Structure 1
């Protein structure tokens, strides 16, 4: 469920001062609408630079997402925007990220962004999983797997993002080809089987208009996808169909319904294919 968004100007003056100790006096603040986890999300500029600022009250139920992003940021060079500062004061937890340029990835069939996303996921697959506290894929899916034994397919030691929403991927057309995409919003970073992010991508690709077969061909551009057992992929599709059915029932809306439909379509393809 989305978190209510407020403006950066609603921060307590002392918290704003703590931010400006890192940035200098802010000259412009542009509130952003993407994302669901943050109460504050803004692109801010000062005489010394530009930042993407994310914030939550320290007593917010999702305050852990800020700590997770701060903990994992140092390990994501070349994958995500750099974290320049972290402030926790006056009841607020605030992160100051490198402000990326570019557009949200276009997942539509034939999009020139698709190879860039695949290259990004290949780089992620080569990134060591840091030794910090992370959720485990089999734990996150244990209530949705069709059979308890299916969970063994999801275990692993690899770093996963798990939220391949196209708005979480920024593509900079001016960067070198093959290195244009970056992943944002690492709150749901997870440890698990290497191929799972390619599987998560499939559901979003189907939502964007791909057939299950064409989406799986895109996933096959990620080397780790070829380590997935056939029965593991089918089990993953089933678990995600159950997951999105639950989400779309609990939090009904156009986007959750689209994801639930896409997950069902993929699951049906796996059962009949």
Structure 2
């Protein structure tokens, strides 16, 4: 479920002062509405630069997501915004990222952003998985598979993002083609089979209006997809239909219902293939 958002002006003075040790006095604060995991989310500007700040109270149940993002950030050159600073004080954990320009990726059929997202996933597939604590894909999906043997398809040593929500992909039209997209929000970084991020993308593509067959054609733009066993893809589609059915039941709303319908459509497509 979404975390309640508060304004940067509601931080304790000591936490705000700790931020300004890195930024200098803030001249402009733009609160942002994207994302569901942060209590603080704002784009801030001072005389020395612009940053995107994410934050949670240190006693928040998902405070671990801040630590996860800080741990993986050094390994994300060319994939994600740079983490410039990390502050933990006055009961708050705050991350200061390089502020990126660009728009959220458009996943609709025919969008010019789709090749950029495919290129981004190809670059991610070539990135070494860091030696940091990460969840394993088979652990995350173990409650949702029809058979425990299906989990073997999801295991692997590769570095995954796993949350291919289009709002987590920023596309900058002012840089060369093939290198325009960046992934934000690495809280759910995972270790697993190389093809899984292409699979997670398929679900969001269907939710954006693609047929399951069209979405899978875009997945073929990611080399690792070609090594995915057909039975593994089917098991993954079925498991994620169960995931999104659970999420939409617990947190009903237009977007969760849309993802539940998309993942169920993919499951039906795989089962009928």
Q: Which residue of 2 aligns with 1:102?
A: 102
Q: Which residue of 1 aligns with 2:66?
A: 66
Superposed, which structure 2 residues align to 1:5-154 within 5 Å? Answer: 5-154=5-154
Is 1:270–2:257 an aligned residue pair? no
Superposed displacement of residue 233, structure 1: 0.3
Query: What is the distance in 1 between the residues matched to 2:240 and 2:3?
Result: 23
Is 1:240–2:226 an aligned residue pair? no
Any idea what the Cα deviations from partners look like across 1:24-56, whole Å, max 9, x if unmatched? 000000000000000000000000000000010
Is 1:189–2:192 an aligned residue pair? no
SS at match of 1:53: strand
SS at match of 1:130: coil
Query: What is the distance in 2 between the residues matched to 1:248 and 1:17?
Result: 40
SS at match of 2:85: strand
SS at match of 1:221: coil
Give the CA RMSD over aligned residues.
Answer: 0.4
Any idea what the Cα deviations from partners look like across 1:217-268, whole Å, max 9, x if unmatched? 0000000001100000000000001111111111111100000000000000
Q: Which residue of 1 aligns with 2:162?
A: 162
Query: What is the distance in 2 between the residues matched to 1:226 and 1:153?
Result: 14
Query: What is the distance in 2 between the residues matched to 1:223 and 1:132?
Result: 25
Superposed, which structure 2 residues align to 1:184-263 within 5 Å? Answer: 184-263=184-263
What residue ranges of structure 2 are gaps of 5+ in the alignment?
Answer: none
Query: What is the distance in 2 between the residues matched to 1:263 and 1:15?
Result: 41
Superposed displacement of residue 213, structure 1: 0.5
The count of aligned residue pairs is 273
Superposed displacement of residue 207, structure 1: 0.4
Superposed displacement of residue 216, structure 1: 0.3
Query: What is the distance in 2 between the residues matched to 1:242 and 1:20?
Result: 44
Query: What is the distance in 2 between the residues matched to 1:184 and 1:256?
Result: 20
Any idea what the Cα deviations from partners look like across 1:5-36, whole Å, max 9, x if unmatched? 00000011111000000000000000000000
What TM-score, normalized to structure 1?
1.00
